[in-house]
Structure 1
Amino acid sequence: MNKSYIIKKMSQHRKRNKNLGLAELIAIALGGMVGGGIFTILGISVSLIGNLTPIAIIIGGIIASLAAYSYVKLGLFYKDEGATYSFFKKTYPKSNFSASAIGWFIIFGYISTLALYAYTFSSYAISSTDFADNIWIRKGIAIGVIGIFTTINIWSVNGMGKIEDIMVYTKLVVLTIISIVLMTHGTTNFNTFIENMTLDLEQSSVFSILIVSSLTFVAFEGFQLVINAVNEMSNPEKNIPRAIYSAITLAVIIYVVIAMGALFAIPTEEIIKNKEFALASGAGNILGSLGTNLVILGAILASSSAISGTVFGSSRQMSVIAQDGYFPRILAIRKNSSPQNAIVAMAFISSLLITIGGLELILEFGSVTFLLVSLLMAIANFKIRKKTNSSTFLTLLSIVGLSMGGFLILYYELTNNWQQMLAIIVIYILLALGAWKFSSGKITSA
């Protein structure tokens, strides 16, 4: 057979496998970010700093952008779908335990958020029915929706990308419409909002604003999922930075609009009291059942796309870790480039977490984990900054900003619920033991 013909066929095959373009990649990142987090964070933020919440969200977006800087640089340098795990392993090749530990931490962080997103989906899906308070129906629906998106991810990468596009961009439109309606029909006008913001600024310290900004970091977790698709995207040199920075910018805009819509239309006492369901309640007071149903639709779309994006990206990272022997080898097996065993494992463990409960604790563990891991990525990028062509100033700024964010979250946990902080430490110890078991006996990488 002619050699040029073979090369041509191989090139065509590679092109056919590059199914994910910029729109799909932005959708994956937004799907991972705009999930259930904003509905919870809104209540916590308003309880701490009131009308200054939009400012805290913007600062949180800046922190996320600092974290993204190192991810983008490392992603373009290594071009490895193992992302966080692979970047750390290749930058520090002589410590098997460190590589195993960061792999275990990041995967279980994704598993915890996957469980949360599914639980958020089910909570909103039945919030207006007679089964709203039935915990087992709620858990059953949560497990069912994980099963649906697991099937979609196994079925087709391209199919997943197109469905993700529809869900993400539809939810952005729905959430924006809801927020604009709340802003235009609320009892608070713009001038009153500014006056309230000024009063809150006098009563709140900069320290409080920064604490809330750090807490909002979990609402931006998900942009890393873009890098997990590096083998299935076209033109990664341009699309990785474009997708990640575009997604963070869009997330900041939608979060600020949602926050302002809630603050314009809903009394702060109600936001603090209802937390996750404040938007539904506020829209219901203004637009009746139509408003409530719109919020429910937005929340369902938000959590659905978050589930889909998280299953897609984290399963590929899990497969890479298993290939290196830090998870059971069976999780590394792929069929048609899809890590089907890893996808099923993610779904099973998340479903198990939903069954046994304790999602609030798992959420806090996830938020601490992703900020810590982002800090480690910034440190790794600083070590090889010349190879990644990174700015020393921006990399150091990332390290300082993420270190401060981590300190503020731990301070918040310690002063508000030290028992929960102790439980998070216990989880880390258990995961470290698992990482040690799989790393022991391995020959240190050269």
Structure 2
Amino acid sequence: MKKQKNTIHRKRNKSLGIVELIAIALGGMIGGGIFTVLGISISIIGVFTPLAFLIGGVLASLAGYSYVKLAIYYKDEGATYSFFKKTFPNSPFAASLIGWWVSFGYISTLALYAYTFASYALSVFEFADNNIMRKLTAVAIILVFTLVNIWSVKGMGKIEDIMVYTKLLILCIISFVLINNSNTTLPILLENNDDFNILSILIVASLTFVAFEGFQLVIHAMNEMSEPVIKIPKAIYSAIIITSLIYFIIALGAILAIPFKNIILHQEYALASGASDILGHWGSDLVIIGALLATSSAISGTLFGASRLISVIAKDGYFPSYLSKKRNEIPVYSIITMSILAFCLILIGDLKVILEFGSVTFLLVSILMAYSNFKIYKQTNSSLAIIIISIIFLSVATILILYYQAITQVEQVYFIAGLYIFLTILAWLFSKFK
């Protein structure tokens, strides 16, 4: 009887296959990113926006390399936090710090996805620009997926499959329709926008890095998959490639079919507004459905992966101990706490600040992961050249975001710096008194 129970337990814990794992990664990546940053990107670099997304994909691939190598070596669902802690076992403050930073990075993206969901969900109503209604709707959708993730792992995985692969189909249709209804050509756009500025393109690629984060959520499902050595690289690299191609095609279709001024004017729901102008009501509805599915799956995937990370950190004493408790292998209290903190960010935060904080956070964390891999590259069987290139490129991207903030809205630099200081103090206190 005991042997039979153990068998059932193993099957329950290994319920996620490669299809579900890719869906979790895509759910975390293709969320609010493309729908939120498209207008910002075009307002800065115009016709070169698709190129910036491809560069962003390269940055994500460089960041993903060390994540994959460390995941295969350590086989720990704690991912970012656990990798850093195990690589530097004699530095509890370092482990606590990266745990606090990356957890709040996930919380900020959760808020971003929910706000973008609300923007598109309300775009068909007269009160579409009502900020209070947007925030209330954002809070409501997080609550829905909080309950879904508390329900069951298998249930979440199947719902994630449906949302992710349906939204991919819709996004492909949107891209085809936009390109097929283009009112200009790429050579004409390039001729009218000959102010090629490589620095601006790199800045936009850096700003959009948050639109690519999410691939590491796969690692947090380590205990819910079989053969992680095979499935983790396949899921992460497949998700990055798929995401990069979709972002490029959507951005290309948008600049060919929608006037730049319309995209910039309606930044928070630019694709819906543009599709409505070109294709009428049904085009706008199609984009809205795609946006709602994209942001919904991103919310669900982020809650799923990040809650397990927070549970691991709490178990080690760097977060309040109640966050480590699980019910039926589900970190219920971590999920609820993430949702509450995301509520707070939505209610008091500014969308652009949340976006930039998320990009900076995941760039910094990716640099630390590359550095961890550098320290043990022989054990992880990694390429030293790729690791060094990753560190250089990711560091430059971080500097470019801070530079852009300093020359545009320096108060955002102060806000983000203050938030980092606050998180650092909390990390130090928990590392000292855990």
The amino acid across from 1:293 in the alignment is: D
Choose the corresponding residue for 2:151, options 140, 143, 155. 155
Instruction: Give the CA deviation at 1:412.
Output: 1.1
Deviations 1:210-245 (A, max 9, x none): 222212211101011000000001211111000000
* Contact 1:36/1:302 (<8 A) preserved: yes
DSSP 3-state at the match of 1:27: helix
Alpha-carbon distance in 1 for matches of 2:385, 2:378: 13
* Contact 1:67/1:398 (<8 A) preserved: yes
2:231 is aligned with 1:235:
no
What residue number does 1:339 align with? Answer: 331
Choose the corresponding residue for 1:58, options 45, 54, 59. 54
* Contact 1:186/1:286 (<8 A) preserved: no
DSSP 3-state at the match of 2:126: coil
Alpha-carbon distance in 1 for matches of 2:370, 2:322: 31
DSSP 3-state at the match of 1:203: coil
Moved more, 10-19 or 99-108: 10-19
What residue number does 2:171 align with? Answer: 175
Choose the corresponding residue for 1:221, options 195, 205, 213. 213
Choose the corresponding residue for 2:267, options 262, 275, 282. 275
Question: Unpaired runs of 5+ in structure 1?
Answer: none
Instruction: Summarize the Cα distance change of 1:12–1:132 in structure 2 as closer, same or farther, 3 Å threshold.
Output: same
Instruction: Give the CA deviation at 1:392.
Output: 0.8
Choose the corresponding residue for 2:345, options 329, 338, 353. 353
* Contact 2:28/2:215 (<8 A) preserved: yes
Alpha-carbon distance in 1 for matches of 2:129, 2:396: 39
Alpha-carbon distance in 2 for matches of 1:42, 1:135: 20
Instruction: Give the CA deviation at 1:133.
Output: 3.2
DSSP 3-state at the match of 2:433: coil
Choose the corresponding residue for 1:105, options 101, 108, 121. 101
Instruction: Summarize the Cα distance change of 1:185–1:36 in structure 2 as closer, same or farther, 3 Å threshold.
Output: same
Alpha-carbon distance in 2 for matches of 1:56, 1:134: 31
* Contact 2:30/2:298 (<8 A) preserved: yes
The amino acid across from 1:413 in the alignment is: Q
Q: Give the length in aligned residue pairs.
A: 434
Instruction: Summarize the Cα distance change of 1:132–1:205 in structure 2 as closer, same or farther, 3 Å threshold.
Output: closer
* Residues 190-269 of structure 1 aligned to structure 2 (within 5 Å): 192-197=185-190, 200=193, 202-269=194-261
Q: Percent identity?
A: 60
What residue number does 1:291 align with? Answer: 283
TM-score (norm 2): 0.97
* Contact 1:51/1:263 (<8 A) preserved: yes
Choose the corresponding residue for 1:382, options 354, 374, 378. 374
Moved more, 276-285 or 382-391: 276-285
Alpha-carbon distance in 2 for matches of 1:397, 1:135: 42
What residue number does 1:131 align with? Answer: 127
Alpha-carbon distance in 2 for matches of 1:407, 1:373: 14
Instruction: Give the CA deviation at 1:423.
Output: 0.9
* Contact 2:217/2:306 (<8 A) preserved: yes
What residue number does 2:90 align with? Answer: 94
Instruction: Summarize the Cα distance change of 1:46–1:138 in structure 2 as closer, same or farther, 3 Å threshold.
Output: closer
The amino acid across from 2:261 in the alignment is: E
The amino acid across from 1:194 in the alignment is: P
What residue number does 1:368 align with? Answer: 360
Choose the corresponding residue for 1:85, options 62, 81, 88. 81
Instruction: Give the CA deviation at 1:48.
Output: 2.1
The amino acid across from 2:187 in the alignment is: I
Choose the corresponding residue for 2:298, options 296, 306, 323. 306
The amino acid across from 1:78 in the alignment is: Y
Instruction: Give the CA deviation at 1:9.
Output: 5.5
DSSP 3-state at the match of 1:440: helix
Instruction: Give the CA deviation at 1:198.
Output: 5.7
TM-score (norm 1): 0.94
Instruction: Give the CA deviation at 1:196.
Output: 2.3
* Residues 422-441 of structure 1 aligned to structure 2 (within 5 Å): 422-441=414-433
* Contact 1:322/1:331 (<8 A) preserved: yes
The amino acid across from 2:300 in the alignment is: S
* Contact 1:85/1:321 (<8 A) preserved: yes
Instruction: Give the CA deviation at 1:315.
Output: 0.2
The amino acid across from 2:205 in the alignment is: S
The amino acid across from 2:98 in the alignment is: I
